[in-house]
Amino acid sequence: MKDIYLYGAPASGKTTLGGRLAKALGRKFVDLDALIVEREGRGIPEIFKEDGEAAFRKVEKAALESVAAAEVGAVVALGGGTLLDASSRELCEKCGSVLCMATPSQEEIARRMGAAPGTRPLGDKSAERAPHYASFKSRVETSFEAGESLVVVGTGIARGLMDERRIVADENVARLFGLPSPIAIVPSGERHKTLETVSRLWAAFARAGIGRGDTVTAVGGGVTLDLAGFAAATWMRGVAWVDFPTTLLSMVDASTGGKTGFDLPEGKNLVGAFHPPRLVVVDTDFLRTLPAEAIAEGRAEMVKHEVIGALARTPGGAALPTAREIAQSLSVKAEIVTSDPFERTGRRILLNCGHTVAHAVERLTGYSVSHGMAVAIGCVEEARLAVRMGLAPETWPDELASRFREFGLKTELPEGLSFEKMADSMRGDKKRSGDVVTFALPCGWGDVRKVPIDLSRKGER
């Protein structure tokens, strides 16, 4: 197993992320600076002051060589200038993968280092080294926690973080990205999100000899993640798993929150388990092969998150979202699932914004309207309901509709559908009790309200 080297400017979060990553992956963690201090018996500023930078770099290189020689597949937090030396860089790139952290702003660095506001703790070093850091292809944009999962978002980071031994991959992803020998391939399409596919995964786990201490790696869209996560949840009463979402929808939604499962002929996602992945790796490189419609699917959930989290609106259009935009969107879900991991406190229902109507639209059109399209329609229809109930201003549904349209999402109800017809279908929704359905009504940016509505009483709808 290869090492994972975290590199980047001082105070960019290498040590914090390194410790968390090592824990999530069950690997050894090495903080190179701490190792040097331990070996030398004095602090790094002292070594610099007493012996000079050249002497420090020598000691640092020797420490790095001993870490690499151990070949234990460690997660290593490097110093801010460790790889300025070409041969050290070569060594790290040979023995492992180098992930470079995005450089925080001077203000953020000052805050993290506990310096007085307005000071530049690194002087001009970070500007001077910017081209050096930019020369690394793998960039970690940010990381955060979502319930029990560690989420890492970046570009070009997947390969470095992927344990190649127990991969369950979507068939298209395996082909497009040449994934190394997966133990199981999940056929593409919602129609394969069945118990039969889960059984195949269990059989593959048996063949691969997966035991209680092993970790399954799922790589694909929401279908693959839901299935592999469920298979992991049930295999030997639960083994650890990590996921690499490859569609925009799965990056901002299905990757996180711990819901796993499969469909039955009687309904979607009827069987499942809460089983959060240890680690979620969101790599925007996967988006490059996605068709425009699949990007729009994910955009619909991103607009939903903008509403829930009152996020700053990002540019519209067909361009791929940036790692930062995806992280911002996903952090809305992360915050909610952290506060309500098992859907018990009622907070998590906020994520259902627009979805009560969306699910009815999907059912009533025999799933010919895609989920993302249905979410756009659902959010706007529910915004109209909010207006009818006096909870939102008249202009709100149009404002929301135009935001969805910026990403090519239509918001008109399909021919022949009406709120009346949908009400009958909604009474069959999972979030109901009798005729009362609890909506997460979008009432404005940052204003989603939990509203129980009696759908048997026409006046109220």
Ligand X SMILES: NC(=O)c1ccc[n+]([C@@H]2O[C@H](COP(=O)([O-])OP(=O)(O)OC[C@H]3O[C@@H](n4cnc5c(N)ncnc54)[C@H](O)[C@@H]3O)[C@@H](O)[C@H]2O)c1
Indicate if 172 belongs to the active site: no
Six-digit token pair at 19?
A: 């410790």
Query: Is 429 a residue that touches ligand X (CB under 6 A)?
Result: no
Pick from 31, 141, 253, 429 the residue near ligand X by CB under 6 A: 253
Which residues, in sequence order, are bridge partners of residue 453? 437
Strand-pairing partners, residue 7, are 100
Interface residue with ligand X among 173, 185, 357, 364 (CB under 6 A) is 173
**Is residue 359 annotated as a catalytic residue, yes or no?**
yes
Active site residue 343: yes
Stretch binding ligand X (CB under 6 A), from 3-11, 36-44, 243-251, 428-436: 243-251
State yes or no: is 352 an active-site residue. Answer: yes
- Cβ count within 10 A of residue 132: 15
- Residue selected from 19, 65, 188, 391 as contacting ligand X according to rule CB under 6 A: 188
Residues near 87 by beta carbon (within 8 Å), at least 6 away in sequence:
61
**Could you confirm whether 348 is annotated as catalytic?**
yes
Residue of 129, 359, 363, 384 with catalytic role: 359
Among 126, 138, 217, 246, binds ligand X (CB under 6 A): 246
Q: How far apart are CA 306 and CA 298, in angstroms?
A: 13
Beta strands 447-454; 436-444: pairing state: antiparallel
Task: Indicate whether 354 belongs to the interface with ligand X (CB under 6 A).
Answer: no
Of the residues 60, 141, 297, 301, which is catalytic? 301
* DSSP, res 357: H
Asked if 247 contacts 259 with a C-beta cutoff of 8 angstroms, the reply is no
Q: What is the DSSP letter of 284?
A: G
Question: φ, ψ for residue 228 (rounded to 5)?
Answer: -65, -40
Q: Could you tell me the smallest distance in angstroms from the CB atom of residue 8 to ligand X? A: 26
Residue 32 vs 294, nearer CB to ligand X? 294
Position 13 contacts ligand X (CB under 6 A): no
Query: Nearest distance from residue 282's CB to ligand X, in Å?
Result: 12
Q: How many CB atoms lie within 10 A of CB 452?
A: 11
Question: Quick check: 250 binds ligand X (CB under 6 A)?
Answer: yes
Q: Which stretch binds ligand X (CB under 6 A): 99-107, 157-165, 215-223, 450-458?
A: 215-223
Taken as a whole, the chain contains a residue count of 461
Cα angle 150-321-154, degrees, rounded to a multiple of 5: 35
> Can 259 be counted among the known catalytic residues?
yes
Task: Please identify, using beta-carbon distances, which residue of 219 and 437 lies nearer to ligand X.
Answer: 219
- State which of residues 33, 60, 214, 297 lies at the interface with ligand X (CB under 6 A): 297
Using CB under 6 A, pick the residue from 88, 172, 411, 425 that binds ligand X: 172
Closer of 269 and 438 to ligand X (Cβ): 269
Tokens of 168: 């369950």
Of the residues 56, 244, 286, 396, which one makes contact with ligand X according to CB under 6 A: 286
| Residue 188 burial by Cβ neighbours in a 10 Å radius (0-12, 13-18, 19+) | middle
Contacts 24+ apart (CB under 8 A), 44-53: 44/79
Spell out the residues 6+ positions from residue 342 whose beta carbon is closer than 8 angstroms to its own. 258, 274
Return d(Cα 337, Cα 190) in angstroms, integer.
Answer: 25
Which residues of this protein are in contact with ligand X, per CB under 6 A? Answer: 170, 172-173, 176, 188-190, 193, 220-224, 226, 246-247, 249-250, 253-254, 257, 259, 269, 286, 289-290, 294, 297
Residues marked active site are found at: 237, 259, 301, 333, 343, 348, 352, 355, 359, 371
